Amino acid sequence: MSPAGGALSAGTQATGTHAIGAAEISLVFDQATVDLDALQRSAYAVAAEMTVDIRISGADYVCTLFPRTQDTVDDELKHRFRAEVNDQILRARIAKETEPLRNLVFALAFSQTGLVEAEASE
Amino acid sequence: MKLERAATMLPAHGWQLLPLRFHRIDPGSLVLTNLVGEHVFVTPDELSTVVDGTCADQELLARLRAAHLIQVPGETLPAELLAIKLRTRMRRLQDSTGLHIFVVTLRCEHTCRYCQVSRQAAAKSEFDMTEEAARRALELAFRSPSPQLKIELQGGEPLLNFPLVRWIVAEASRMNKEYGKDLEFVIATNLALLDEEILDFCAKEQIHISTSLDGPQDLHNSNRRRPGRDSWQQAVAGIRRVQDRLGTDRVSALMTTTDASLSRAAEIIDTYAELGLRGVFLRPISPYGFALRRRGGANYDVDRWLEFYEAGLGQIVELNRQGVPMVEIYASIIAKKILTNADPCYVDLTSPAGIGIGALVYNYDGEIYASDEGRMLAEMGDRTFRLGNVHDSSYADVMLSDSLLNPLTESITLSAPMCTTCAFEPYCGADPVFHHATMGDFTGHKALSAFCRRNMGVFTLLLRKMRDDPYFCDLMRRWTQ
């Protein structure tokens, strides 16, 4: 993980690429409650509407949002990103909780195709 | 009865989640899907209580359990049933390529505004496939393990090389005496050259005719130009002749949506209905080749196409309500994916993608491509999806080529960014040719992809209508048959 100030992800240039004088749109997430993975997945999912710069600041992740169009309302952009992060957190929780069953289903599905036996005999 | 009811009551924390994904289809409603696409609509609060283990709504819990979204701890049947359904949905992978497209000539007497291929003048026979190339292509096609083989004869305009069409049908039928496959032939033609000899042949060989019909006369003739400006008249006359001679189920038509089509969805549907055609495939234009020219007809975005699609679908539903049976083909393909475990094997909605393993294209010059769009890219100078040549490539060369395996590997939605967590993943697929052409890589950036936006839009529309309209839900069930 990069130190404070190091860009982590999210398909964007470092902060400062937006128009000079424009106020930054930032959201702060507590590292104790939000995984970096959820933020990165969110940044990917909203890429049609904005690009996101993610940085570490103390115990927080600071996400700076860069709208793709000029007519975007800041609060709407923040709500959109925050809602996406919440969904990604929920998705991660469900995926973690159900991973053993998911693996079991795939193992059962492919155990009767002959593929497993063929691979073992090679 | 009370005892039975009590036995199925689930106490708080009395269930465990099965693998599930969710998508917000409007602010107050989500759809949950399991590994094979079975679905239940819930509110955001309901999802929270189910995940937290605090849900007290026994009716909801029963629905989730029936749809294999939750299970009682210790149960083994849900995982076994999900595995069987998953295996059923992926069964097509064992059979491999079922569709083999023969481009018997590049010649065409039409000059359609959106045509992606470099069509050639009707007299230039050097753009015809030879018998030797066709024979070698047939040998490759019959190497496919698929028990079903569909041979589609297209062009250009394939009837400009009708002698080769005859030869391929005869030779394939002869070869099939040894292979015993379920063999089917389709001629994709604009019907302008249809005559009695061709009709006799199609009747004898039980050939299906696929044609193009873009809608009302002025729209069709504006899109599909030919000497005499009578493409629509020729197509309509041809459709009627085939219906009379071969039967109404032996001819189908495809439309291509140009910018001129967008405000005319109902008229397009009505044109099909008046001709007794029972299926309409509301297709967007493919963003390749000539279609991208200023007058190519592709000057619209996904959102505008989705409005057109919704209007067209609405008209089709209305006709059904009035007793006129009609199917929107794309919705029917998705209905099968949403409501059954059968895989309709539509190459654009499969994972891994259908290129090569769902369809192979043999060009007039013997070149082999992973899809028709891959062939179109080659005509524009991009040979990324060329798999070999019938004259010097073996079946193994073609099917194990890096040109096929690399895009296939990147087309598996269970490992693609955003697709892995998408509730629509069981319904969707990947189109590496589209993403290569529009974004420069096989996977594409899903959040920016027109393919993703279009399909997410269609899935959301269909599910919302299924949730809100019992008649539509019933219609979708009928369309699965």
Domain boundaries, chain B: 2-89, 96-379
CA B226 to chain centre: 28
Can you tell me the distance from the alpha carbon of B171 to that of B183, in angstroms, rounded to the nearest whole number? 12
Dump the DSSP string for B149-196: EEEEEESS-GGGGHHHHHHHHHHHHHHHHHH--EEEEEEE--STT--H
Q: Helices then strands (H, E): number in chain B?
A: 19, 16
Eight-state DSSP code of residue A29: E
Residue B253 and residue B214 in contact, taking contact as beta carbons nearer than 8 Å: no
Can you tell me the distance from the alpha carbon of B411 to that of B400, in angstroms, rounded to the nearest whole number? 16
Can you tell me the distance from the alpha carbon of B49 to that of B10, in angstroms, rounded to the nearest whole number? 13
Can you tell me the distance from the alpha carbon of B444 to that of B422, in angstroms, rounded to the nearest whole number? 15
Torsion, Cα of B378, B384, B390, B396 (10° steps)? -160
Shortest Cα distance, chain A CAs vs residue B370, angstroms = 25
pLDDT tens-digit readout, B175-209? 999 999 999 999 999 999 999 999 999 999 999 99
Please report the pLDDT score of residue A109 as a whole number.
83
Please report the pLDDT score of residue B463 as a whole number.
98
- Compute the average pLDDT of residues B243-252: 96
- Compute the average pLDDT of residues A26-39: 97
Please report the pLDDT score of residue B166 as a whole number.
98
pLDDT at B428 over 60: yes
Can you tell me the distance from the alpha carbon of B399 to that of B370, in angstroms, rounded to the nearest whole number? 9
Please report the pLDDT score of residue A117 as a whole number.
54
Please report the pLDDT score of residue A24 as a whole number.
84
Token code pair at residue B301: 């975005």
Can you tell me the distance from the alpha carbon of B322 to that of B345, in angstroms, rounded to the nearest whole number? 31
Token code pair at residue B346: 């539509």
Please report the pLDDT score of residue A3 as a whole number.
33
Query: pLDDT class for A37, splitting at 50, 70, 90?
Result: very high
pLDDT tens-digit readout, A82-92? 999 999 999 99
B25 touches A at CB < 8 Å: no
Contact at CB, B19 and A98, closer than 8 angstroms: yes
With a CB cutoff of 8 Å and minimum separation 6, the contacts of A28 are A57, A60, A61, A62, A63
Can you tell me the distance from the alpha carbon of A113 to that of A119, in angstroms, rounded to the nearest whole number? 11
What percent of chain A is modeled with pLDDT above 70? Answer: 73
pLDDT at B142 over 90: yes
Contact at CB, A47 and B448, closer than 8 angstroms: yes
User: Global pTM?
Assistant: 0.91
Token code pair at residue A120: 């073992």
Please report the pLDDT score of residue B120 as a whole number.
67
Query: pLDDT class for A110, splitting at 50, 70, 90?
Result: confident
Q: Say if residue A90 is exposed, middle or buried (CB neighbours under 10 Å; 0-12, 13-18, 19+).
A: middle
Nearest to A45 among B84, B94, B418 (CB): B418
Query: pLDDT class for A71, splitting at 50, 70, 90?
Result: confident
Phi-psi region of B388 (alpha: psi -120 to 50; beta: other; left: phi over 0): left
pLDDT tens-digit readout, B10-54? 999 999 999 999 999 998 999 999 999 999 999 999 999 999 999
| Longest Cα separation, chain A | 67
Nearest to A112 among B24, B87, B447 (CB): B87
- Compute the average pLDDT of residues A44-58: 97
Query: pLDDT class for B304, splitting at 50, 70, 90?
Result: very high
Alpha-carbon distances of A50 from A14, A39, B46, B419, rounded to whole Å = 14, 13, 30, 19
Chain A residues within 8 A (CB-CB) of chain B? 41, 44-48, 87-88, 90-91, 93-95, 97-99, 101-102, 104-110, 112-113
Q: Does domain A25-97 have CATH number 3.30.70?
A: yes
Strands (E), B233-330: 251-257, 279-280, 282-284, 327-328
Contact at CB, B35 and A102, closer than 8 angstroms: yes
Nearest to A44 among B18, B22, B447 (CB): B447
Cite the DSSP H helix spans in chain A: 36-45, 74-111, 115-121
Please report the pLDDT score of residue B114 as a whole number.
80
- Compute the average pLDDT of residues B353-366: 96
Cite the DSSP H helix spans in B229-275: 231-246, 265-274
Alpha-carbon distances of B455 from A8, B9, B417, B422, rounded to whole Å = 31, 38, 16, 12
Query: pLDDT class for A120, splitting at 50, 70, 90?
Result: low
> Mean pLDDT in chain B?
93
Query: pLDDT class for A65, splitting at 50, 70, 90?
Result: very high
Please report the pLDDT score of residue B29 as a whole number.
96
| CATH code, residues B96-379 | 3.20.20.70
3-state helix, strand, coil in chain A (%, to 5): 45, 20, 35
Residue B224 and residue B188 in contact, taking contact as beta carbons nearer than 8 Å: no
Token code pair at residue B241: 């002749």
Please report the pLDDT score of residue B289 as a whole number.
64
- Compute the average pLDDT of residues B349-353: 93
Token code pair at residue B209: 């005719």
